[in-house]
Structures are given as C-alpha cells and as structure tokens.
Structure 1
Amino acid sequence: MLRIETFAPARRCTAPSTSSLQRWIARQGLVGAVALVLSVTLAACGSERADDSGTPSSGRTAVAGADKLEACPAAPSKPPVSNGLPDVSLPCLGSGPDVRLADLRGPLVINVWAQWCGPCRDEAPYLAALAKSGKVSMLGIDYDDPRPELAVTFASEEGLAYPHVVDRDKAIQRALKVGGPPLTVFVDGDGAVAYVHRGVLTSQQQLDQLVKDKLGVSP
C-alpha cells in the first residue's frame, strides 16, 4: 500500500488540508494530485522572498533625505600604516561608496557621534564651523545607532556638511578604544592617528587648538 506523508508547511505557506487531498485523489488519481499539491505549495512559498524582518532582500535601504548629505568620495586603495586607522570599510550615511578607513590620509578630523547622544549635539556647532574653514578634511562616524533616519536628520539640522559613514556594529570600538560617543580622532598626513580626544568638545577654541597642536594646521 502506498503511504503518503505530509510535512508541516514553511512559515507563511499554506498547503491543502488532508480531507481536500483525499477527495482530489479519489476524483483525479494520485499522480495528478501530488503534482498539484507541489505546484501550489511552491508557488505560495516562492511569492514571498523576504528576510526574517519581512523586508525584501534588495540590498541597503535608502533613507529619506540621505541624498542631501555630503557624498562619500571614492579614495584610492592604500596599505594600512602603523598607528593608523583600523582596516575596516563602513557604508556611507549619504550617497557614495563605502569608505575604507585605512585608505584615509590627513590632515583629517574624524568625529564619532550618534543622534541619541546629547553631548554630540552640544559640540556639533564647533565641528560645523571647522568644516566651513576648509583647512582640514572631515569625516563623521554615526556609531552604534539604530535609527539611520534620525541620524540623517541630526546631520542635516546641525549643518555637518562633510561625509558621514555608519558603524552600527561598533567595528572601530577595539582599535580606537571607543567607550561611546562623542570621540574625535586627529589623523596626520601620513595616515597615523596623532591624537584621540575622548568626550565632548567644549568650545571652538578647544577644537581649533587641537587641530593646530596635533595636525599643525591653523583653522
């Protein structure tokens, strides 16, 4: 006697009931019924191509307003340097390619921030003013931040007119000893980390003096 085994359907897929299957077998024959069951089940499963969160797997999702941020430029590949930035690549918060930190050279100021960080908002005007001076390159790292749409709003509202990348998984934590934002990194012309300021910047004078002392540049 032929034995038919039924298996529990995959999540969100609906298979015919046992009674319906038996009635169809009685009318149409075994072979046709099995083929129909398979085709219906596979069609139902194949129509839902989503990840566990229910979002179609179509790559990185664009954040509203991100295209208005400063684009991340493409940088030529360079070998990592001693005492340099970690060799990790981070996606751009705005438009543009991923940024490999080890490729970057100074004079460069990198600010680690997050939209949920109150002190980051306090120091933002000083960073915005430094960016306007055009004396050094600047990069922001949106760190450990689960709300990219709020990060885009933060960068726009605070006038942080320089590229920003996203480090949601804290990839830079160990190399730069990041306890949390804010944190500001000063990178010299050879790509070495000249200094790391941990904590909030309290004045424009403080930031300008750090740029002068650590990078040899007068804003």
Structure 2
Amino acid sequence: MAGAEKLAQCPSTPSKPPVSNALPDVSLPCLGAGPDIRLADLRGPLVVNVWAQWCGPCRDEAPYLAELQKRAGGKVKLLGIDYADPRPELAVRFAIEQKWDYPHLVDPDKLTQQPLRIGGPPLTAFVDEDGKVVHVHRGVLTSQQQLDQLVRDKLGVTW
C-alpha cells in the first residue's frame, strides 16, 4: 500500500498468558510494516485508540494523540486500530498527515467490536502493565488536558 512504509513498524510481541479484563484475544494485521499483533499479548502502560479516516471526531482528536506520543512516548505506548475502514490507503495517508509516530493495526472485519463494545469510532482504551483494560473512553477526546489527565489517572503515568 502506498506510503505504508512511512508508518511506524508494528513490533513483534511475545506470547503472554491470558489475563482477565484484557484486550480481546484476536490478531490484527499491521497497517504499515511488521507482523500481525495478538491484542491479548499487549501490556501497558498502553493507550489504544480505535479510529477511522472517515470519522470526523477521530480527526478532531488526532493531534492530541500525536502530542501524547511526542511528550510521553518513553513512558506510555500508543497503538492505533483503523476500524471498519473501506479505504486503508486513505487511512495510511491520514496517519502520516497526523504525524502519528506509533504502530497501527487494521480491523476491517470488526473483530474488536463485541469485546470492546464499540458503537463506532473513536474509542480509547487504557491498558495497565498487567494487560488489564482499566478504562475505556467512548467518543471523542476533547482536549490535550483531558487525554493527559486520563493517562495520569488511569495508568499512573506522569511526565
């Protein structure tokens, strides 16, 4: 896909035993380069943002995610999931335009819909170091301050 090489590569993640209240046990392909990632293997502190390039509110909150990566990237990981997107090539362009410097997965078949109870994007999940989803924010993030506060309150990460 054109431009996909400009996206952050998806890391290979070691297999981990399942934990309760974790991300769903599904594997999703990388939007850029890199291996498929099994969500249940991920540990935090991690912010998972479910988005789509056709989603207006996702565009509104995109700068806050890029800024969080820039400021707290050493202490908290970010992962994007391009959700139910019929135009992955536009998703690649959107992620590059937003300067999202973290890996993104693709969920064209809505495998995460039921386990995360996704009504539609955007949705932001906060995952602690044990792999538990400690908070799910449904809907648009309205400010940098709100996102930073959620990271501090839900994940205990300060910078």
CA deviation vs aligned residue, 1:147-203 (integer Å, no higher than 9, x gap): 010000000001111000000000001100000000000000000000000000000
Report what 1:217 is aligned to.
Answer: 157
Rounded Cα–Cα distance in structure 2 between residues aligned with 1:201 and 1:168: 23
Rounded Cα–Cα distance in structure 1 between residues aligned with 2:69 and 2:36: 21
Report what 2:131 is aligned to.
Answer: 191
Q: State the one-letter code of the partner of 1:162.
A: Y
Unaligned runs of 5+ in 2: none
Measured after TM superposition, the shift of residue 72 of structure 1 is 0.0
SS in 2 for 1:197: strand
Greater fraction strand: 2
Length-normalised TM-score, structure 2: 0.98
Rounded Cα–Cα distance in structure 2 between residues aligned with 1:80 and 1:65: 34
Report what 2:12 is aligned to.
Answer: 74
Length-normalised TM-score, structure 1: 0.71
Report what 1:113 is aligned to.
Answer: 51
What is the aligned length?
157
Rounded Cα–Cα distance in structure 1 between residues aligned with 2:3 and 2:138: 30
Unaligned runs of 5+ in 1: 1-62
Over aligned residues, Cα RMSD in angstroms? 0.6
Considering Cα pairs closer than 8 Å and 6+ residues apart, tell me whether 1 or 2 has the greater RCO. 2
Matched, 1:95 2:33: yes
SS in 2 for 1:130: helix
Q: State the one-letter code of the partner of 2:22.
A: G
Matched, 1:141 2:81: yes
Rounded Cα–Cα distance in structure 2 between residues aligned with 1:156 and 1:201: 20
Measured after TM superposition, the shift of residue 79 of structure 1 is 1.3
